[in-house]
Amino acid sequence: MDFEIVFIVTLYFIYMNSNLAAITEVTPLSEKDCFYIADRHKTEFTYPMHSHAEFELNFVAHANGVKRVVGDSVEIIGEYDLVLIASKDLEHVWEQHLCESKNIREITIQFSPDLFFSNFIDKNQFESIRAMLEKAQLGISFPMAAIMKVYQLLDQLSGERNGFYAVINFLTILHELSLFADEAKTLSSSAYAKMGVYSDSHRIQKIQKHINDNYKEEIRLTQLASLIDMTPAAFSRFFKLRTGRGLSDYIIDIRLAQAARLLLDTMMTISEICYESGFNNLSNFNRIFKKKKGCSPKEFRENYRKKKQVI
């Protein structure tokens, strides 16, 4: 069998480790399949928080008011939503929340990370898809223009029974979406998604590794600059040019991502989490967290920790 589109009933098993009580979705995608697709018409979202080894493209229609959680990103979606997740570790869920629609449509496509073998994806013709998949390690949501561009292709793919033409259709969808990758919104933070921000600069990689390893401690600009033999002023300009963010914002995002994970996955007090995440002042931690996440650490824990279920 060269290819099979499988309309599935999803299977789950329990995945546990020392910090996490969540589920890992096990899909029926075999080594000989390119992808599978599930097209559902539903009145509510019931899936719990989960992750899986496969990459996922998820389209939702007529679901205004649904809460989408991808890593430490929490957003209320509008009438349409299209998200690409290209990381096996990134937890995600779509929750009913304020949605009252009884005519929800969800098209989920999951495909293997090795769908494109290395030499193939490195060809010039796939450069935009390769860049999009790298960005989607943190989850990305596409603008409405991209959704309108691929809507009919998604609809056609759902009904396509010829495996070859289905693959061509799917590659076309990925290509069309890759043209909107620069406009797509990055969702989760890199620290929460358990992956680094990969840079083409070895000096930046060295700095990022140092920050990731020492975010609990005080990190000084002069200390980082000396690691790559630059003056503090030159380093600040260099870092922002290479990462698109100032050093202080970058360090805060790393610490907040760790705080969010501890809030969801441990029983530590908020005060303990504050200091464990590298903040040295509880009131400052609460203020920064609310500014960045839109709610207090206590509200974040109460609202989203209960969504992690073991089945």
pLDDT of residue 102: 92
pLDDT of residue 106: 95
Q: What percent of the chain has pLDDT over 90?
A: 48
Regarding predicted confidence, which is higher, 186 or 260?
186
Strand partners for 51: 24
pLDDT of residue 244: 73
pLDDT of residue 119: 73
Stretch 238-247: mean pLDDT: 82
Whether 194 maps to a domain, the answer reads no
Same domain, 175 and 236: no
Whole-model pTM: value is 0.66
Would you say 289 and 300 are in contact if contact means Cβ atoms under 8 Å apart? yes
Instruction: State the CATH number of the domain containing residue 180.
Output: 2.60.120.10
Same domain, 134 and 210: no
pLDDT of 103 > 60? The answer is yes
Going by C-beta distance under 8 Å and a sequence separation of 6 or more, which residues neighbour residue 294?
A: 74
pLDDT of 260 > 50? The answer is yes
Domains: count for the chain = 2
- Choosing from 155, 186, 217, the residue where a domain stops is 186
Whether 1 maps to a domain, the answer reads no
- Choosing from 138, 157, 186, the residue where a domain stops is 186
Stretch 198-219: mean pLDDT: 82
Residue 71: CA count within 13 A, CB half-sphere = 28
Same domain, 23 and 167: yes
pLDDT of 203 > 60? The answer is yes
Which residues span the domain enclosing 254?
A: 202-307
pLDDT of residue 193: 63
Instruction: State the CATH number of the domain containing residue 279.
Output: 1.10.10.60
Nearest Cα residue to 174 out of 156, 141, 150, 140: 150
Same domain, 131 and 245: no
Q: What interhelical angle do 232-243 and 202-214 show, nearest 10? A: 100
- Choosing from 121, 153, 186, the residue where a domain stops is 186
Whether 176 maps to a domain, the answer reads yes
Same domain, 180 and 278: no
Same domain, 141 and 213: no
